Amino acid sequence: MADSQVSEKTVTLTDNSTGKSVTLPVRAGTIGPDVIDISKLYAETGMFTFDPGYGATGSCVSGLTYIDGEEGILLHRGYAIEDLAEKSDFLEVAYLLLDGDLPTAEEKAAFDTAITRHTMVHEQLSIFLRGFRRDAHPMAILCGVTGALSAFYHDSTDIHDPQQRMIASRRLIAKMPTLAAMAYKYSLGQPFNYPRNNLSYAENFLYMCFAVPAEEYVVDPILADAMDKILILHADHEQNASTSTVRLAGSSGANPFACIAAGIASLWGPAHGGANEAVLNMLNEIGHKKNIPEYIEKARDRDDPFRLFGFGHRVYKNFDPRAKVLRKACHDVLGKLGIHDPLLELAMELEKIAIEDSYFIEKKLYPNVDFYSGIILKAMGFPTSMFTVLFAVARTTGWIAQWNEMIKDPAQRIGRPRQLYTGPEQRAFVDLAKR
């Protein structure tokens, strides 16, 4: 568990209407901004803090992921995302997030085997999944089926038992690709593929999505490598909306399957993980680079709700380092596959124009992780409706690592924010006959 030190520093707030002051301790982490510990503020001042969207609020102590938004830095347990994307594979990053250190060769082999052996799902789940309409959005299916896992794996829902937490964590990491592939196959009217224990995590996912019983399917190593890289880049990202949802759900003691289902629901929003699907739809709507200025103008117009999907970030006020890796991967994958996708050229032109636009420079809006991922996923054969599903498959590892860190934190208690009340003062009830 990451530890933070109470530094010698303090901050004093003075209420200038009463002259009353309160001194609050400052806590320092390993790197990054210090925090003002306000846990005693209400008791000492009778006032709450107010920070809608939590833009300046730290919700927890964590040692998993560090982001420097100004410099465009992303570290997982101290390792730079660029190194992890280049030199490790997804299950190695999963081990790192869960355990705290990169695995030895022996530890990695054991972890890979443990995850591989959990990739099958209860046979009744395939019947449960068939209750959805064929045209159901795969995120709707994934959200529903993941919540249902607690009905099938009730023997790993006791959050106070470390053994059950470990089994539930491995089940979720291992079964998410299988469930995602089943949701995809179901939408196609094709039979489900069982996972294959001789394939890697990324290879298995591609196999389950694209193999058909009528012929042998050989996983293309180019696609497997690209998929593994995409999973690494989406694994974890500090206290984003869906991770905070998982932590808040978990703080009440809810079982891990219910918490991850809550995270999937939050990720689905187009302002968050749903943006990758929205980027492709936006690029298709723009259609040609001659239309880009019109859309930049719409994005600049505060009265127009249109946002340039794939741009901007609550934390990054520089390039999202994941977008840089994905931009390069786009060129590599499409080049190796011999695919000429005009949407990639359109995206590159849009990026070039946007980052030179005064509004985007002033607001510090740069491409984020969602801007390029969809182009690669489209080249791999996935429909846009599956893009956020893939994000959820990867982020399940981050959510589970964050959930485990929270459960093991001795200071953990139920999350319960307060509010600034602006409703009516107390008033007398008026009988219906007199209204």
Q: Which residues are catalytic?
A: 313, 370
**Which one, of 320, 139, 328, lies nearest residue 226 by Cα?**
328
Residue least distant from ligand SDX (Cβ): 312
In angstroms, what is the minimal distance from the CB of 172 to ligand SDX? 18
Check if the beta carbon of residue 183 is closer than 8 Å to that of residue 129. yes
The distance of closest approach from Cβ of residue 212 to ligand SDX in the complex, given in angstroms and rounded to an integer, is 33
Tell me if 170 contacts ligand SDX by CB under 6 A. no
Site for ligand SDX in 359-388 (CB under 6 A): 363, 365, 368-370
Q: Binding string, 297-316, against ligand SDX, x = CB under 6 A? A: --x--x----xxxxxxxxx-
181 DSSP 8-state letter: H
Q: Which is nearer to ligand SDX, 224 or 315 (CB)?
A: 315
3-state secondary structure of 67: strand
In the complex, minimum distance from the CB of residue 307 to ligand SDX, in angstroms, rounded to a whole number: 4
Q: Does 240 bind ligand SDX (CB under 6 A)?
A: yes
Q: What is the token pair recorded at 236?
A: 């974890």
Query: If binding is defined by CB under 6 A, does position 324 make contact with ligand SDX?
Result: no
Of 187 and 240, the one with the shorter C-beta distance to ligand SDX is 240
- CA–CA separation, 103 and 97 (whole Å): 11
Q: Is 400 exposed, middle or buried (0-12, 13-18, 19+ CB in 10 A)?
A: buried
Nearer of residues 155 and 362 to ligand SDX, judged by Cβ: 362
Give the three-class secondary structure for 194. Answer: coil
Distance CA 350, CA 367 (A): 10
How many angstroms separate the CA atoms of 15 and 18, rounded?
Answer: 6
Alpha-carbon distance 75 to 65, whole Å? 6
Question: Per rule CB under 6 A, is residue 237 in the interface with ligand SDX?
Answer: yes
Q: Is residue 322 within 8 Å of residue 383, measured between CB atoms?
A: no
Would you state the structure tokens that stand for residue 19, as one six-digit string? 């002259």
Contact range with ligand SDX by CB under 6 A, out of 155-163, 176-184, 267-275, 323-331: 267-275
Q: Is 60 in the site for ligand SDX (CB under 6 A)?
A: no
Nearest distance from C-beta of residue 278 to ligand SDX, angstroms: 7
Chain positions contacting ligand SDX, by CB under 6 A: 237, 240, 271-273, 275, 299, 302, 307-315, 363, 365, 368-370
